[in-house]
Amino acid sequence: MTLIGPFTQVLPLTGMPLKGAVADDALQVIPNGGVLTESGLILAVGDFEKLRKDQPKSQIQEVQGDHVLLPGFVDCHTHLCFAGNRSKDYALRIAGKSYLEIARAGGGIWDSVTQTRQASETQLAELLKERIARHSKEGVTTIEVKSGYGLNVEQELKQLRAIKKASENSKADIIATCLAAHIPPRDFSGSASVYLEYLLNYVLPKVSKEKLASRVDIFIEVSAFNSTDATDYLRAAKQMGFEVTIHADQFTTGGSEVAVNVGALSADHLEASTEKEIKKLAASETVAVVLPGASLGLGIGFAPARKLLDAGACLAIASDWNPGSAPMGDLLMQASVLSAFEKLTTAETFAGLTYRAAKALNLNDRGSLENGSIADMQAYPCKDYREILYHQGKLKPAQVWKASEPVI
């Protein structure tokens, strides 16, 4: 057993609701706290000196100076496996062109598909390792990573194999998602619905056979797939044993309704969601995942996070780190800015980055510091937990642990 501490404050994020609004007085704050771990799991959280007295034979991993301890962040929506960049797209956007206009002119997702197809599996894995390492140092201990820049059998499998290779010996847990239904590829001779049949017949069976991903995603939008075709695709994917999630309501509505109807784990984006969509999400078990990085990258409004919480939804916050609309990838900074604009409490913001984000990935063994949870933790060099969001992402963790092993 190893006792880690003492910490000026420990925020275990236990005893908090899974859905709806959360006031800051729901946050449990343990002063002079410690965490007792064994074999990568948490055994106990409490007063450091009491834990040391109760477990005199435990090894002590002493923490010097003032630190606030939180669970590791869970980034439940990223596109980290890619090659190249879309700086030309960004320059066009800040000059006034819309996302859809750039896509129609040859930029957008297809540009990333072209660049990613040109990279080898090894190159993609190495690029992904670098991004995982940065995220890990910034306190993100579980990272969802999508394919979706391949868009045919060979290239989608190449991406997913690169994700699997990068996850080996990673300092974070990597959760792969097959997003072969990102957009209809320009070099596919058939309609969007025929392409989805192609995925069901030729891509997903191989993904399943090689155990490259247990999750499937689809982009429901004017420039991608319609709700009817997406519903058929997702139901078929579920019958094949995949969990499903959806890129929903980014520019137009419809996707979140599909997410609720098919029992998707999450509906992600939601910038265009109205009261109708908010009510349906709140009444469901589908997690509403908001992506402030995409709003910042595209220069559009944030998803209605405050309204979703007040309606009773389970709200998670993810980075959407990708080469086009969300290239920054700084999860804490994005969440801090979102909390200021949408008036999210500190408790709601931390919940959205931890145990609620874990729910979006159907994971119940992380996101809080309690007996039996994985010892994924991060310590910030400050005296008061409120300083973390106050610095709007500039205050980074001084120490990070993955399954009780130090990352930094």
- 220: nearest Cα among 196, 190, 189, 188: 196
Q: Please indicate, yes or no, whether residues 59 and 194 belong to a single structural domain of this protein.
A: no
- Confidence at residue 309, expressed as pLDDT on a 0 to 100 scale: 98
Say which residues have a Cβ less than 8 Å from residue 175's Cβ, sequence separation at least 6.
Answer: 142, 143, 144, 145, 215, 361, 363
Q: Please indicate, yes or no, whether residues 226 and 273 belong to a single structural domain of this protein.
A: yes
- 130: nearest Cα among 154, 166, 102: 166
Mean pLDDT of the chain: 97
The residue length of the chain stands at 408
Q: Please indicate, yes or no, whether residues 27 and 159 belong to a single structural domain of this protein.
A: no
Q: Please indicate, yes or no, whether residues 272 and 380 belong to a single structural domain of this protein.
A: no
Tokens of 310: 């007040």
CB 125 within 8 A of CB 73: no
Backbone angles phi, psi at 238, to 5 degrees: -65, -40
pTM: 0.97
Helices and strands in the chain: count of H runs, count of E runs: 17, 16
Q: Please indicate, yes or no, whether residues 12 and 134 belong to a single structural domain of this protein.
A: no
Give all strands (DSSP E) within 29-139, no chain letters: 30-38, 41-47, 59-62, 68-71, 73-75
- pLDDT band for position 282 (50/70/90)? very high
pLDDT score of 338 more than 90: yes
- Confidence at residue 100, expressed as pLDDT on a 0 to 100 scale: 79
Number of other CB atoms surrounding residue 312 within 10 Å: 16
- 351: nearest Cα among 138, 145, 76: 76
pLDDT score of 303 more than 90: yes
- pLDDT band for position 358 (50/70/90)? very high
Q: Please indicate, yes or no, whether residues 373 and 238 belong to a single structural domain of this protein.
A: no
Tokens of 25: 């007085």
Q: Please indicate, yes or no, whether residues 63 and 132 belong to a single structural domain of this protein.
A: no
48/2 Cα distance (integer angstroms)? 12
Q: Identify the domain containing residue 54 by its residue range.
A: 2-71+368-406
CB 93 within 8 A of CB 298: yes
146/371 Cα distance (integer angstroms)? 31
Distance between start and end Cα atoms, the chain: 20
Domain harbouring 337, CATH code = 3.20.20.140
Q: Please indicate, yes or no, whether residues 101 and 204 belong to a single structural domain of this protein.
A: yes
122/165 Cα distance (integer angstroms)? 8
Residue 62 burial by Cβ neighbours in a 10 Å radius (0-12, 13-18, 19+)? exposed
pLDDT tens track for 23-61: 999 999 999 999 999 999 999 999 999 999 999 999 999
DSSP conformation class of 229: H
Q: Please indicate, yes or no, whether residues 389 and 287 belong to a single structural domain of this protein.
A: no
Q: Give the chain's domain count.
A: 2
pLDDT score of 101 more than 90: no
239/139 Cα distance (integer angstroms)? 36
Q: Please indicate, yes or no, whether residues 30 and 165 belong to a single structural domain of this protein.
A: no
pLDDT tens track for 238-263: 999 999 999 999 999 999 999 999 99
308/361 Cα distance (integer angstroms)? 19
Chain centroid to Cα 234, Å, comes to 20
Domain harbouring 36, CATH code = 2.30.40.10
- Confidence at residue 105, expressed as pLDDT on a 0 to 100 scale: 80
273/279 Cα distance (integer angstroms)? 10
CB 41 within 8 A of CB 373: yes
- Confidence at residue 169, expressed as pLDDT on a 0 to 100 scale: 87
- Confidence at residue 269, expressed as pLDDT on a 0 to 100 scale: 98
Tokens of 206: 């191989």
CB 245 within 8 A of CB 291: no
Helix (H) or strand (E) holding 342: helix 331-342
Q: Please indicate, yes or no, whether residues 316 and 391 belong to a single structural domain of this protein.
A: no
104/96 Cα distance (integer angstroms)? 15
Q: Please indicate, yes or no, whether residues 170 and 66 belong to a single structural domain of this protein.
A: no
Helix (H, G, I), strand (E, B) or coil at 297: helix
- The answer to which of 88-102, 203-217, 306-320 has the lowest mean pLDDT is 88-102
